[in-house]
Structure 1
Amino acid sequence: MTKKRAFLFPGQGAQAVGMAKDFYDHFLLARETFEEAEEILSRNLSKVIFEGPFEELVRTDNCQLAIYLASVAIGRVIRQQLPEVLPSFCAGLSLGEYAALTLSDKLCFASAVPLVEARATFMQEACEKSPGAMLAVLGQNVDELEALLKESAAPQKVWIANLNCPQQVVLAGSREGIERMQEFLLGRGVKRLRLLDVGGAFHTPLMESARRKLSPLIQKVSLRESPIALVMNATGEEVSSLFEMRALMIQQVTSPVFWEKGIRKMEERGVEEYIEIGPGTTLTGLNRRIGVAGTTLNVEKVEDLEKLGAEVYERTLKG
């Protein structure tokens, strides 16, 4: 019997200089993916992705396109080389939702590339207008953290931005607000804190200007139905209505990401295997903390693809 499978795609923060370079070198389809995007945008993206420097790559207006391209290039190669490895569901963390939309056949690549570029540009502008930061808080559940936020009574703007897994919540807000919140939490004995390598306070009201500018572009872009289900960030639910999909793409810019809820929804729907596609292993680690019953694999390098192919072949032999 065919396994129910989910493809998962990482978000900003997973970037690394050289990501997807081995796929670019080994597979024509991956190279064509980069070349098509560069032709659409009239930009040399592969240079900053493959050579850096990291300070350039990490800029929101470079980083989002880079991770999207790396993820889609790898995902396309998986579908080409292992056509039997079909997803029943797709989901992506924050920016990764655009790769999920593309690999679930709901948003075509040629439309997605300029939309991701616009999203990245608008969010970079919002970052420059309202400099912000994001802080991962480990070892606290959301109720505990909400109580601590109220107790802090900080005048600076700080919100819960990501509910990733049990005992991991991400805060976002103004730089001053996050700095003060970090000091407050340390003073309350919350020691496991990590500043994220991102350029702003994503998924908060500080991104309102980006949401407002992106909205008309999302309203115009063509979406289509497909047999692959999509679980979206803003609700953590499966979404089939194209109207609702469009609304949630807009809402996602300023609303919290309900990642754990989305993973649990897919598990509820019978997903037995998750494949993280793109740079890093963040989502694989989150699945481990969530405690999914199914297996989680990641494909970041060509050797990961070969390993996945070997596992698929072995399963075929076993019937």
Structure 2
Amino acid sequence: MVQIVASQLMYLFPGVGSHHSGMGKTLYEQFPLVQDLFTEASDILHRDIAALCFSSAHAEDLNYLENSQAALLCVSVATYRVLVAETGLEQALYLGYSLGEYSALCCAGALAFKDALQLVWNRGIIVSEVAKTVDGSMVWVVNVAERKVEEICQQLRQEGESVSISAYDSPQKVSISGTRAALRKAGERIVAAGGIPIPIKMSGPFHSPLMSDAAARFRDLLHTYSYASPRFPVISNYTAQLYQSGDDIPANLQLQLVQPIRWQASLELARSLGVTTSVEIGPKNVLTYLLEKNEFHITTYELNTTEQLQKIKASSVAQSRDYPAFLAKCLTLIVGTKNYNEDVHMYETIVIPNFRKIEATYMAVQAGNLMPDEQLYAHTLTLLTDALRAKKLKESDIHARLQRLG
């Protein structure tokens, strides 16, 4: 049986395109916490999110961008909360595709659910309004190297056309965005180069400079919300690097609208960080498919049904964890990690208390006075992570240390 090791785990959150009528329904029917979150979302947006997701009468409404974005975020966050409630597995690398980045940030504790929901709802409205003013769209390009596609786009821009790569999905799959005239010309040259252009229906020229007006409008909205440093490592679509603090979030989310999704580079970072297992949280399996296309050969799970949840639970690391050894390693990490923070107050109010809490847990487990479980494991990881952050350790270094815990 394959076991999920939390420090080698990656959570993948899908973007628009993975949404469909009926998504999340089996978990909604099974878990009250999903029903509660749907009710909360409905109260925030003043519309019935359950009906939007499950009713065939609203299938067309679900394709409006503001609806699909809000519904998909709600389903993804609800699915994640079920996973954590049932397994205790929180410590992971978090990565979302486009809209999925909001789900990742929300689940990692950087963005409140209410704020994330309102942001993606308004993002959908703004992007749709701007897209209507531009005669543009998106096209998938497969079976040709990204460098050749870059060359074609650059040639067309030199000829006065507006077209650029909008997502680097894998070595043989990218998407391009531009005006329809530019996309037609690009398509002809892509075919001549042996590639296959596939128009994306009901799309605008997303993740490209043609969305500059949307990015400008969205920037003002982004700065009206609050952001925290993620509790767990999250990769940015724009930089393909880990977020270092909550201060980076607004600018990255704004730039995501006009810059390409660097998915291939994000997966390379995940590979370098030692990820061995992924869970795609939400409908469909698009991101699991992209793992294969990037030759990222790891153990993969999908989570959208109770059956899939049971499969993950059967592989949970909780079945064979050496808790005393784990707790001892946590204590050693805190003591053995250099402090880069000159703020004595932060050290005294975070590092020392967190160390003492883990120490007390270790002594209780050793004495047989406390039965450890996945909830305790997750709580201990949070205490450890907060202590390392209080020492001003880089997020990449924190993740590397957590990975070594096993």
TM class, shorter-length: over 0.9
Tell me which residue corresponds to 2:327.
Answer: none
TM-score by length of 2: 0.73
Q: Tell whether the 8 Å contact from 2:66 to 2:120 is kept in structure 1 after alignment.
A: no
Q: Note the alpha carbon deviations across 1:203-239, whole angstroms, 9 max, x for none.
A: 0122112211111221221111243011000011111
Identity percentage of aligned residues: 28
Tell me which residue corresponds to 1:27.
Answer: 31
Kindly state the Cα deviation for residue 195 of structure 1 after the two structures are TM-superposed: 2.3
Kindly state the Cα deviation for residue 3 of structure 1 after the two structures are TM-superposed: 4.1
Counterparts of 2:35 and 2:159, CA distance in 1: 49
Evaluate the alpha carbon distance shift between residue 295 and residue 37 of structure 1 in structure 2; reply closer, same or farther with a 3 A threshold.
Answer: same
Secondary structure (helix, strand or coil) at the match of 2:234 reads strand
Aligned length: 316
Secondary structure (helix, strand or coil) at the match of 1:203 reads coil
Counterparts of 2:62 and 2:184, CA distance in 1: 24
Counterparts of 1:170 and 1:258, CA distance in 2: 11
Kindly state the Cα deviation for residue 265 of structure 1 after the two structures are TM-superposed: 0.7
Q: Does 1:179 align with 2:189?
A: no
Secondary structure (helix, strand or coil) at the match of 1:224 reads coil
Q: Note the alpha carbon deviations across 1:47-75, whole angstroms, 9 max, x for none.
A: 22212454322221211112111111111
Tell me which residue corresponds to 1:65.
Answer: 70
Deviates most, 181-190 or 266-275: 181-190
| Correspondent of 1:103 among 103, 107, 110 | 107
Kindly state the Cα deviation for residue 174 of structure 1 after the two structures are TM-superposed: 2.0
Q: Tell whether the 8 Å contact from 2:21 to 2:54 is kept in structure 1 after alignment.
A: yes
Counterparts of 1:312 and 1:58, CA distance in 2: 36
Q: Tell whether the 8 Å contact from 1:165 to 1:290 is kept in structure 2 after alignment.
A: yes
Aligned-partner residue type, residue 262 of structure 2: F
Tell me which residue corresponds to 2:168.
Answer: 163
Tell me which residue corresponds to 1:258.
Answer: 262
Secondary structure (helix, strand or coil) at the match of 1:237 reads coil
Evaluate the alpha carbon distance shift between residue 142 and residue 309 of structure 1 in structure 2; reply closer, same or farther with a 3 A threshold.
Answer: same
Secondary structure (helix, strand or coil) at the match of 1:122 reads helix
Counterparts of 1:235 and 1:295, CA distance in 2: 26
Kindly state the Cα deviation for residue 317 of structure 1 after the two structures are TM-superposed: 5.2
Kindly state the Cα deviation for residue 169 of structure 1 after the two structures are TM-superposed: 0.8
Counterparts of 1:188 and 1:218, CA distance in 2: 41
Counterparts of 2:91 and 2:222, CA distance in 1: 25
Evaluate the alpha carbon distance shift between residue 47 and residue 76 of structure 1 in structure 2; reply closer, same or farther with a 3 A threshold.
Answer: same
Deviates most, 51-60 or 239-248: 51-60
Q: Tell whether the 8 Å contact from 2:27 to 2:305 is kept in structure 1 after alignment.
A: yes
Tell me which residue corresponds to 1:237.
Answer: 241
Aligned-partner residue type, residue 316 of structure 1: Q
TM-score by length of 1: 0.92
Counterparts of 1:77 and 1:21, CA distance in 2: 13
Unaligned runs of 5+ in 2: 323-406
Q: Does 1:82 align with 2:103?
A: no
Kindly state the Cα deviation for residue 140 of structure 1 after the two structures are TM-superposed: 1.8
Deviates most, 25-34 or 127-136: 127-136
Q: Does 1:204 align with 2:176?
A: no
Which consecutive aligned stretches of 4+ in structure 1 deviate over 6 angstroms post-superposition?
A: none
Counterparts of 2:184 and 2:313, CA distance in 1: 46
Structure with more relative contact order (C-alpha pairs < 8 Å, separation 6 or more): 1
Counterparts of 2:296 and 2:199, CA distance in 1: 26
| Correspondent of 2:279 among 271, 275, 280 | 275
Aligned-partner residue type, residue 98 of structure 1: Y
Q: Note the alpha carbon deviations across 1:294-316, whole angstroms, 9 max, x for none.
A: 32211122221111112227x72
What is the alpha-carbon root mean square deviation over aligned residues? 2.0
Q: Which has the larger radius of gyration?
A: 2
Q: Tell whether the 8 Å contact from 2:6 to 2:92 is kept in structure 1 after alignment.
A: no
Kindly state the Cα deviation for residue 194 of structure 1 after the two structures are TM-superposed: 2.2
Kindly state the Cα deviation for residue 14 of structure 1 after the two structures are TM-superposed: 0.9
- Of Structure 1 and Structure 2, which has the larger fraction of its residues in strand? 1
Evaluate the alpha carbon distance shift between residue 136 and residue 22 of structure 1 in structure 2; reply closer, same or farther with a 3 A threshold.
Answer: same
